[in-house]
């Protein structure tokens, strides 16, 4: 049935558009124009026109390049927070726009499809695209602020995204059942991980603002701790800086305060509606490394001792550079400097 065939494309195309709108349009348009698929929603025929393919191709090339540059990809994703869901809405409404009203009415009678199916399809497409876009943007942010191999990791992730988008977009027209299964599984995974990924994205947005602010008024003094955070410390804080933890459970991805208090390095954060404390004896710190990025500073601390062996990273906005340097000085005193 034409109505149901059109509905089957909404989920996979919306998910693909939320990751890379221009590649989705390009794959769908080329599949129709060159006859790679024999059946497709009539409303998508417009994507096969030469002007649409040229514009989609040019914009895809721009995105292909932008997606390979750390932090440029983040800014590009920020710009597309509205564009990708809007594009998914247009794809959904186009899929259903050329349907004969009599067919829609018949479908409503036979399978319960509401005649206002375009509105429902548009809403579903918007939500799905927003989820997949948030997942992409948050994942890319996490990769950019993680340690080592940033460029390689970003390029590999971008290529994997492009491959997945092209596959899902093509399957949505040729094998819609398989496309919906794949999209459904990916969407379920994204729903689980998006909340944490959004914290990374929000942290990077703050970092962009802080980068500009830091040019005029960098933070040099220890930051004041909220009382509920200070109450967890074993001693009065000597230094405190607001940042985000990475690489070590249970603090991974948490915003909080890195603190030097007495003979311990501590991180206070909020989880499950209450403040919690992670701490490490200073005597167990072996190395301290400060990596300077375009928007963020990443302090990596390697440790070994009674608490075990490992490494933990803390990301800070660029305006806190003078303050973070004081942490490095304190942690590397009488230790190995990397």
**H or E segment and range at residue 313:** strand 308-317
**Per-residue pLDDT tens digits for 299-310:** 999 998 877 788
Q: Is the pLDDT confidence value at 112 over 50?
A: no
281 has pLDDT over 50: yes
Q: Is the dihedral of CA 211, 215, 216, 217 positive or negative?
A: positive
Asked whether the beta carbons of 51 and 66 are under 8 A apart, the reply is no
Determine the average pLDDT of the residues in 97-112: 46
C-alpha 145/C-alpha 311 separation (Å) is: 15
**pLDDT tens, residue by residue, 202-225:** 766 666 677 666 667 888 899 999
Task: Provide the 10 A C-beta neighbour count for residue 276.
Answer: 16
Shared-domain flag, residues 188 and 286: no
**Is pLDDT above 80 for 320?**
yes
Backbone angles phi, psi at 290, to 5 degrees: -115, 120
Q: What is the CATH number of the domain that holds 259?
A: 2.30.29.30
Asked whether residue 216 is domain-assigned, the answer is: no
Is the pLDDT assigned to residue 35 strictly greater than 70?
A: yes
Angle between helical axes of 117-145 and 72-97 (0-180°, round to 10): 160
Asked if residue 317 lies in contact with residue 214, where contact means CB atoms within 8 angstroms, the answer is yes
**Residue 37 included in any domain:** yes
Choose between 86 and 294: higher pLDDT.
86
For residue 10, tell me if it sits in a domain: yes
Q: What are the percentages of helix, strand and coil residues in the chain, rounded to 5?
A: 60, 20, 20
Q: Is the pLDDT of residue 48 over 90?
A: yes
Indicate whether 253 belongs to any domain. Answer: yes
Residue at 222 is within a domain: no
Q: What is the total count of domains within the chain?
A: 2
- What pLDDT score does 128 carry? 94
Percent of all residues in the chain with a pLDDT value above 70, rounded to a whole number: 83
Claim to verify: residue 233 and residue 202 sit in the same structural domain: no
């Amino acid at each position: 049935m034409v109505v149901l065939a059109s509905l089957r494309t909404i989920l996979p195309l919306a998910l693909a558009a939320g990751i890379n709108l221009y590649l989705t349009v390009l794959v769908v348009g080329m599949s129709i124009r060159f006859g790679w698929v024999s059946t497709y929603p009539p409303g998508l025929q417009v994507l096969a026109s030469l002007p649409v393919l040229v514009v989609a191709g040019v914009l895809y090339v721009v995105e292909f390049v932008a997606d390979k540059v750390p932090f440029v990809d983040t800014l590009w994703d920020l710009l597309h927070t509205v564009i990708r869901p809007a594009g998914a809405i247009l794809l959904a409404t186009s899929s259903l726009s050329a349907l004969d009203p009599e067919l829609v009415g018949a479908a409503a009678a036979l399978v319960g499809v509401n005649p206002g199916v375009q509105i429902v399809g548009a809403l579903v497409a918007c939500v799905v695209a927003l989820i997949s876009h948030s997942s992409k943007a948050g994942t890319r942010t996490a990769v950019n602020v993680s340690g080592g191999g940033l460029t390689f990791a970003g390029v590999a992730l971008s290529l994997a995204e492009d491959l997945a988008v092209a596959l899902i977009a093509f399957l949505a027209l040729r094998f819609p059942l398989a496309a919906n299964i794949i999209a459904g599984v990916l969407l379920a995974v994204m729903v689980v991980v998006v909340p944490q990924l959004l914290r990374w994205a929000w942290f990077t947005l703050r970092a962009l603002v802080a980068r500009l602010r830091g040019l005029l008024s960098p933070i040099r003094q220890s930051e004041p701790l909220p009382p509920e955070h200070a109450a967890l410390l074993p001693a009065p804080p000597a230094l405190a800086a607001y940042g985000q933890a990475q690489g070590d459970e249970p603090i991974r991805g948490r915003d909080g305060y890195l603190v030097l208090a007495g003979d311990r390095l501590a991180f206070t954060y909020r989880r499950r509606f209450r403040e919690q404390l992670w701490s490490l004896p200073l005597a167990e710190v072996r190395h301290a490394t400060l990596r300077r990025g375009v928007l963020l500073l990443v302090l990596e601390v390697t440790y070994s001792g009674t608490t075990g062996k490992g490494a933990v990273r803390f990301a800070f906005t660029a305006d806190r550079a003078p303050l973070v340097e004081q942490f490095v000085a304190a942690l590397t005193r009488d230790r190995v400097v990397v």
